[in-house]
Structure 1
Amino acid sequence: MTQPKPEALLPISVVSARSGLAVSAIRYYEERGLVNSPRRVAGRRVYHRTVLRRLAFIAAAQKIGLTIAEIQAAMAELPIDRAPSPKEWARLSQPWKERIDQRIAELEGLRMSLEDCIGCGCLSMTACGILNPQDQAAEEGSGARWSGRRKSPEA
């Protein structure tokens, strides 16, 4: 690994400001091996400017819904000292596209289901595919059995 030029090094405060992440988040990602600080200047962490692309990569992965462990696995295929190339990005992001397509399909189904249950409020209506799929609440009796619950009993 070649040593970065001093002007290519950014203090953690600048990385934080430019990435929009808290300093603590950057340190957390460093602890997890997702980014690295090549050295310290006057006892303070400094990062090569390519860390900004790695942090953007992490943010994109999190928006898609990947866990830190999944992001670690993807980034383990990349050298730690540089940002992913367009070819590497395309290869790593391909499975994410499938995940996005699945989420889009789920959201479209949810949108269609909303028309059936807006305003019903009963939570045990047999047609409610959102709050009471397959009329599971009917097994517990009549009325709003799951009112206030965040998930069904089987979830």
Structure 2
Amino acid sequence: MTETIDIAEVAKRSGLPASTLRYYEEKGLIQSTGRRGLRRLFDSSVLQHLALISLGRFAGFSLEEIAALFTPDGPKIDRDLLLAKADELDNNIQRIMAIRDGLRHAAECRAPSHFECPKFQRLLRAAGKGKLKNPRKSGGKTR
């Protein structure tokens, strides 16, 4: 039999605030097993679910994408989805490295003004065309 722990202990062990745990439960990502007074109770296996959710969030998956991983039989990880996310991360890394290199060049550039530096001008043009957008997905809560 697995251990039952209350929401305060889950929060302590996972490092997530109780409000996030309640939000994840509301979204169907985790399930409580009952209550002890006003406190929700969880099976200790919830900690592994929360670790998977945290890993997914860190990798840039939306909560909706993460929720799709959970089935009644347990987590089912879509390998194609993982490969697509890895490709997306590769693209973001390349873009961020180009920005980093441009900023370093601008910091060290000997041109009298940054606006006279061709490399800085290219960086400005890219920004002006919206090519430097934040890679994080917008919309919805990001707890």
Partner residue, 1:32 = 27
Corresponding position: 1:107 with 2:102: no
1:117 maps to a residue whose letter is A
1:7-46 CA distance string (max 9 Å, x none): 5211111110110000111001111111111222334211
Matched, 1:133 2:125: yes
Q: Which one scores higher on RCO, CA 8 angstroms, separation ≥ 6?
A: 2
Residue 94 of structure 1 pairs with residue 83 of structure 2? yes
Matched, 1:8 2:3: yes
Distance 1:123 1:28, change over 3 A: farther
Is the partner of 1:127 in helix, strand or coil?
A: helix
Which of residues 30, 42, 45 is equivalent to 1:50? 45
Cα pair 2:106 2:114 within 8 Å, conserved: no
Residue of 15, 21, 41 corresponding to 1:20: 15
TM-score w.r.t. the length of structure 1 is 0.64
Residues 47, 126 of structure 1: alpha-carbon distance in 2 compared, 3 angstrom cutoff: same
What is the CA distance between 1:107 and its match in structure 2? 2.2
Q: Segments of 4+ in structure 1 off by > 4 A?
A: 119-126
Unaligned ranges ≥5, structure 1:
137-150
Whole-angstrom CA distance in 1 between matches of 2:56 and 2:78: 13
The 2-side partners of 1:49 and 1:37 are apart by: 10
Classify 1:117/1:53 alpha carbon distance in 2 versus 1 (closer, same or farther; 3 Å). same
Provide the aligned C-alpha RMSD in A.
Answer: 3.0
In structure 2, list runs of 5 or more residues that go unmatched.
Answer: 134-143
- Percent pairwise identity: 31
- State the shift of 1:105 in Å: 1.6
Q: How many pairs are equivalent?
A: 125
CA distances 1:90-128 after superposition (whole Å, capped 9, x unpaired): 635333222222222222222322233126674685532
Structure 2 partner of 1:61: 56
Aligned to 1:78: 71
